[in-house]
Amino acid sequence: MTEPAHKILVRKYLDWEKVSNRLSRYEYIGKHYNLKALQDCSEKSPYYCHYLAWRLGTWEYEKSFTFFNELLKHGILLPNWDKKIKAEDPSKRYEYEKFFYFLWELQVAKFFSDVKGVSVEWTLSGPDLKISSNGKTFYIECYTFIKSFGIELFIEDLLNRIHPRIRTLHTSCIKFSLPQNADTEKFLNDIFSPYLNPCFIDNKLKKAEKEWPVLLPTPQGIDNFYIYVEGNNQAEYISGRLPNASGIPENYLAVCFKEAINAKRNSNELSQHSNVLLAINFLLSTDFQGAANRQKELNELCLSEEIPLCDFGNAIDGIFFSACGINGVPSLENSYLKIKAGIEHPILSLDEKFNLLSAKGDSFFSQDGRCT
């Protein structure tokens, strides 16, 4: 059987010597991940690489690894690391997008640990983190909003190895759905098969010198996903070849929160714990980030409509959400907090900044609105 095209390309571009060197250079990354475990994922579909092996072996800049190493250094020191986090087999949570799940857990742990007088520990079951201060306790369940954005980012990352002028695009704030689970491998193979012929992209690059964007093929039946070659000369840009519109940001934001809350409200024994906070990372959704920034700007002009908030149910008492990137922790500038009405949540007594975040969250959402 012919090897999948993306597997061939991953093998071509992933530099295992660079992986090995970086594992040696970054102490805590090297402690948590070993070379053999990373190599063992090279035959696992759909990506044929471990999320960290790909990044260690292809990314040029060290900043992300320096920060990730520091997060691991901190996370290792928290109670229950050996029993919960370290005990997980890295080869069982290897997919490209799983990096963002783990990173978010570490970022949230670091964020709360930096608050004076707060104790943070990994839990042995149920929510991810236990937060304690002044005799009060609450729990945090971490969730990263992935959907199709993880697959899109992998495609973009691999295409960038082929040539840095290849871009991906989807229309924001409308339905965006790429093939998932068992269908992902065929989809990726169909995407990357043309690139096994070097002449294919060379010809497209030559066309882009005269006019661009030059659209590249995507599998039949895939809507709202575009691959194209970007030109060097703005004067040669041809408008109309790519979409220049978006859906309704307010509606999109409401759907995002509904999906995130519904994904977790009945999971991980949350109902058996009190004062549960759902920490949502919207890092991968540039759609969310754009819509949220627009909402913030309209709020400041008193022109926005408040976002209807999905019913939290009985297990979740509030949401903390951010899109802080991969090289930092959440902050007052990029985060929000929304507590269920009528609840005196312990997070509000940790530090004044959480009251400020709560005020931001209250202005973001309608007070009584519910997504049904």
DSSP string, 46-108: TTSS-HHHHHHHH---SHHHHHHHHHHHHHHHSTTHHHHTTTS-GGGS-STTHHHHHHHHHHH
Q: What percent of the chain has pLDDT over 70?
A: 89
Residue 372 pLDDT class (50, 70, 90 cuts): very low
Q: Could you give the 3-state DSSP secondary structure of residue 294? A: helix
Is residue 210 scored above 70 in pLDDT? yes
* pLDDT of amino acid 251: 76
DSSP class of residue 271 equals G
Q: How many residues does the chain have?
A: 372
Helix (H, G, I), strand (E, B) or coil at 199: helix
What Cα–Cα distance (Å) separates residue 172 from each residue in 100, 227, 289, 319?
21, 15, 10, 24
Query: How many angstroms separate the CA atoms of 13 and 193, rounded?
Result: 15
In Å, the largest CA–CA distance within the chain is 68
pLDDT score, position 222: 93
Looking at residue 370, its pLDDT comes to 43
Q: What is the DSSP code (8-state) at residue 332?
A: T
Question: What's residue 158's pLDDT?
Answer: 98
Residue with tokens 């759907």: 255
Q: What percent of the chain has pLDDT over 90?
A: 65
pLDDT of residue 361: 84
Q: Would you say residue 107 has pLDDT above 90?
A: yes
pLDDT band at 174; cut points 50, 70, 90: confident
Instruction: Give the HSE-up count for residue 43: Cα atoms under 13 Å, Cβ half-sphere.
Output: 3
Residue 306: which pLDDT band, with cuts at 50, 70 and 90? low
| Chain segment 245-301, per-residue pLDDT in tens | 777 777 777 788 888 888 888 887 888 899 999 999 987 666 666 666 666 655 554
pLDDT level of residue 369 (50, 70, 90 thresholds):
very low
Average pLDDT over residues 199-223: 96
Q: What pLDDT score does 89 carry?
A: 64
For the chain, the structural domain boundaries read: 98-372
Chain segment 180-207, per-residue pLDDT in tens: 999 999 999 999 999 999 999 999 999 9
pTM score, two decimals? 0.91
The candidate with the shortest Cα–Cα distance to 355, out of 366, 368, 344, is: 344
Cβ atoms 309, 319 nearer than 8 A: no
